[in-house]
Amino acid sequence: MTGAVPASLAGLEPGARLKAHMLVLDIERRTLGGREATVLTLGNASGRLPSAPFWGETQRRVAGLARGDVVEIAGRMGAYRGRRQLEVAAIRRASREEVDPRTLLPAVPDVAPCWTALDRWRGAIQRGGLARVIALFYDDPAFRRCYGECPGSPAGHHAALGGLLRHTFEVATIGRAIAAVAGADADLVLAGALLHDIGKLEAYTWSGPFDHTPAGALLGHVALGARMLDRRVRDHAQPPCTGPELDLLLHLVLSHHGKLEFGAAVPPMTLEAEILHYADDASAKSASLADALRDAGNFTGSAALSARLWQLDRRRVYRGRGEFAGAPGAP
């Protein structure tokens, strides 16, 4: 078999044939109808798919596989109760040297425009102390390299290489716009956008399937980000800001999830923290809904309404456009 990556796993319809290198994202052993079965979740840069169950003796074909393995598969797209699944005809473990790693994980096509905008905006910050705190991270080549690769989440919004940077750009864009009409401190909102998710660099791993690190599982990215900010400011030979100023920045990081039950350490208590929370939420939720609309697996055939989706709080999404289906600008 040869590893030809399809244009988009998300758009493959039942009956389509598939031959590709893929990454094993999950392995689940189930009991279905009183019988033992193994189900794989397979993915590449264009999406992810569950396999049809491997039953009985056919489970020997996937024995020994582990999460993170690269496999070469051939099969066809099937469906069960209206949901797509990959009917695997042939599968073998492959070495990572056989495949370009960029074809195995989803990635933002081009992060350069995000860097350009964020660096331009932070370069316009007037207050030296605030600019110096941000520069502790964003002038560090090692930080920039990791930040430009890190996903925005392991399996939710912006779950792609470079997704965190894209999310940060969106939060900064939304937050600056709200700050302008709300009379808030736009520089402080921008600083919050740039710093609020730095903890994800220690919370996630992305060399294979996206996942949490032990620290990410134990502490979460909000606490990790606050710790990173506090340490870097306090360890600097000449602290770039005062203690009260650092507290305001830490509050932005610790409160950006809005409520304690959603992962915030404290609720937002400043106008800038409130704006940051809603900008973060808008970026995350709109990206999740856009992903749900693109995924054909959420819909049965040509149906316009999806099933209820866990990643959208059990909501359904609608992909019909009716009389507005013409291209933008069309008469």
**pLDDT tens digits for 195-243?**
999 999 999 999 889 999 999 999 999 999 999 999 999 999 888 999 9
What are the sequence ranges of the domains in the chain? 9-103, 112-289
pTM > 0.95: yes or no? no
| Residue 101 pLDDT | 78
In the chain, the amino acid numbered 246 is: L
| Residue 324 pLDDT | 63
Distance of CA 300 to the CA centre of its chain: 25
| Residue 327 pLDDT | 56
Q: Specify whether the CB–CB gap between 73 and 34 falls below 8 A.
A: no
Higher pLDDT, 331 or 273: 273
| Residue 331 pLDDT | 46
| Residue 4 pLDDT | 44
- 3-class state of residue 117 by DSSP: helix
Mean of per-residue pLDDT scores for the chain: 91
**Those residues with Cβ within 8 angstroms of residue 42's Cβ, 6 or more apart along the chain or in another chain:** 22, 23, 24, 25, 48, 49, 50, 51, 71, 73, 86
β-bridge partners, 21:
72
Average pLDDT over every residue of 20-38: 89
Confidence of residue 299 (pLDDT cuts 50, 70, 90): confident
Tens-place pLDDT, residues 30-60: 887 788 899 999 999 988 889 999 998 899 9
Tens-place pLDDT, residues 71-89: 999 999 998 877 789 999 9
Confidence of residue 103 (pLDDT cuts 50, 70, 90): confident
| Residue 74 pLDDT | 92
Higher pLDDT, 33 or 183: 183
With a cut of 50, say whether residue 6 has pLDDT above it. Answer: no
Lowest mean pLDDT among 63-67, 127-131, 295-299, 302-306: 295-299
**171: its two tokens:** 């939060």
Q: Under CATH, what is the fold of the domain 112-289?
A: Hypothetical protein af1432 (1.10.3210)
Average pLDDT over every residue of 176-186: 98
Burial class (CB in 10 A: 0-12, 13-18, 19+), 25: buried
Average pLDDT over every residue of 95-103: 84
**Those residues with Cβ within 8 angstroms of residue 125's Cβ, 6 or more apart along the chain or in another chain:** 131, 134, 187, 190, 191
Q: Under CATH, what is the fold of the domain 9-103?
A: OB fold (Dihydrolipoamide Acetyltransferase, E2P) (2.40.50)
Closest CA to 28 of 39, 19, 37: 39
With a cut of 80, say whether residue 319 has pLDDT above it. Answer: yes
| Residue 3 pLDDT | 42
The C-alpha atoms of residue 286 and residue 271 are separated, in whole angstroms, by: 22
Q: How many CA atoms lie within 13 A of 259 on its CB side?
A: 3
Cα torsion at 253, 257, 261, 264 (round to 10°)? Answer: 10
